[in-house]
Structure 1
Amino acid sequence: MKNTKKITGGVYLVIDPSWDPSFTLPRLTQALSAGISSIQIWDNWPIRSNKIGFINEIMALAGPFHVPVLINNDWKLLKETMLDGVHFDKPCSTLKQIENNIGRTFLKGVTCGNDLTTVQWANDHFFDYVSFCSMFPSSSTDSCEIVRKEIVRQARKLTEMPVFVAGGISLENISLLQDCGINGVALISAIMKSADPFETTKQFNHYFSTSDETNTHS
């Protein structure tokens, strides 16, 4: 089965499954209505989570907008759900075995730091995008190194894949990254903890020409 969904740029929303769904789901709905390009479910599950049930709820919301939903790291969940892809935190030496195990095409992304060999690895393995983390200090990305802007600029010259940036990005500082050639931004708190997720998503989308290509319902 071929996955026809694509990731081109714009707002890539990361969902923290440890947050109460009664908080998360209505805000996700607002962001979808404003035009996000993709969703990642972060690998931050609370104990005794109903992972399948939560994934299916997210996919039910994303489906009418044709927005792809990816899982962070736990690729085996693609065998139990209709998830669209996997975001890896680092290069994976068993990628070929994973692809064979899943048995269907799926979207692939990977987190990059200051080592450009990760970008080259993603290129060589036909990934759909790369995401640099962390551009600024952030409570949700405290395990990431701070990425130098020059590294992102060099990555832009190395690949035609969409390049995202993540970590501590807000409407106040995103303009500092516009000269890096980025296609999109991966966000958690900036949207999910915003007073108005719909309006905040629209404001972020204004920064990216690819936002016109995302499936937007306003």
Structure 2
Amino acid sequence: MSAGESRLRGLYAITSQAVVTEPGRLLGAVAAALRGGVRLLQYRDKWNPAAVRERHVRRLLPLCRAHGVPLIVNDDAELARATGADGVHLGAADAALDEARRLLGRRALIGATCGNSLQRARAAVAAGADYVAFGRFFPSTTKPDAPPAELATLRAARAELDVPLCAIGGVSPDHVPLLIEAGADLVAAIAGVFDAADVETAARAYAKCFT
């Protein structure tokens, strides 16, 4: 078990396009989300140049660590290594998990996107993933064309796999109890947290489902 895995339960907040591209917004929004009860934060940024992404991660790290929340970088193990981030989340088309582990070391937190595939989740866990993510479970504004995932897959993964399970894709606070019942340890939210008018209140609405 790598550092942080044992406490992976609750809201997994992932930065939205607006929050990473609108000048001056990122740190305040993340601080609000952390106050609202985020347990894991992913810096997802498909839009800024490398230098901006690195600067953002370096600024977010002390904020996350002050709250005891691991900071994960989306799809970029090299950036995670360069900045000292706590780990990386890899999609199906991203760098191999074993390569990320080699770069980041045994204690890094590495997650893998598995869509609706239990087979993919098995392979990720066998390769050393600390958690696996399934989705999308509901209509998503971030990835509207992503194939749907089934609660049955989440239940099957819960019965078989010992790592934390994350549910993602259009998840609102109203959905969280159903996902927890099906086996989710984490629920991930992007727009539901960071595109909300009140980020702290939005985060708290998810987080309180785990108490």
Provide the TM-score with structure 2 as the length reference. Answer: 0.87
**1:182 has 2:168 as partner:** no
The 1:132/1:21 distance shift into structure 2, 3 A limit, reads farther
How far 1:39 sits from its partner (Å)?
0.8
Distance, in Å, in 2 between the alignment partners of 1:103 and 1:199 is 36
C-alpha contact 1:24 1:192 (8 A) present in aligned 2: no
How far 1:86 sits from its partner (Å)?
0.7
- Runs of 4+ off more than 4 Å: none
C-alpha contact 1:133 1:141 (8 A) present in aligned 2: no
The 1:113/1:103 distance shift into structure 2, 3 A limit, reads closer
Q: Which letter maps to 1:56?
A: R
C-alpha contact 1:40 1:69 (8 A) present in aligned 2: yes
Distance, in Å, in 1 between the alignment partners of 2:117 and 2:157 is 10
RMSD: 2.3
Distance, in Å, in 2 between the alignment partners of 1:47 and 1:93 is 19
C-alpha contact 1:156 1:163 (8 A) present in aligned 2: yes
Provide the TM-score with structure 1 as the length reference. Answer: 0.85
The structure where helix makes up a greater share of residues is 2
How far 1:92 sits from its partner (Å)?
6.3
Q: Which letter maps to 1:198?
A: E
Local SS of the residue matching 1:50: helix
Residue 214 of structure 1: aligned partner? none
Q: Which letter maps to 2:4?
A: K
Report 1:1-12 matches (<5 A): 4-6=3-5, 7-12=7-12
Local SS of the residue matching 1:109: strand
The 1:110/1:21 distance shift into structure 2, 3 A limit, reads farther
The 1:91/1:129 distance shift into structure 2, 3 A limit, reads farther
Distance, in Å, in 1 between the alignment partners of 2:69 and 2:47 is 22
Residue 16 of structure 1: aligned partner? 16
Distance, in Å, in 2 between the alignment partners of 1:143 and 1:150 is 21
The 1:27/1:93 distance shift into structure 2, 3 A limit, reads closer
Match of 1:152 among 148, 151, 154: 154
C-alpha contact 2:21 2:47 (8 A) present in aligned 1: no
Q: Which runs of 5+ in 2 are unaligned?
A: none
Distance, in Å, in 2 between the alignment partners of 1:21 and 1:116 is 40
Distance, in Å, in 2 between the alignment partners of 1:134 and 1:199 is 24
Q: Which letter maps to 1:16?
A: S
Residue 82 of structure 1: aligned partner? 84
Distance, in Å, in 2 between the alignment partners of 1:147 and 1:166 is 9
The 1:101/1:181 distance shift into structure 2, 3 A limit, reads closer
What is the percent sequence identity of the aligned residues? Answer: 26
How far 1:104 sits from its partner (Å)?
5.6
Q: Which runs of 5+ in 1 are unaligned?
A: 210-218
Q: Deviations over 1:49-104 (max 9, x none)?
A: 51211111111211211211111111111231111101011276743333333456
Residue 216 of structure 1: aligned partner? none
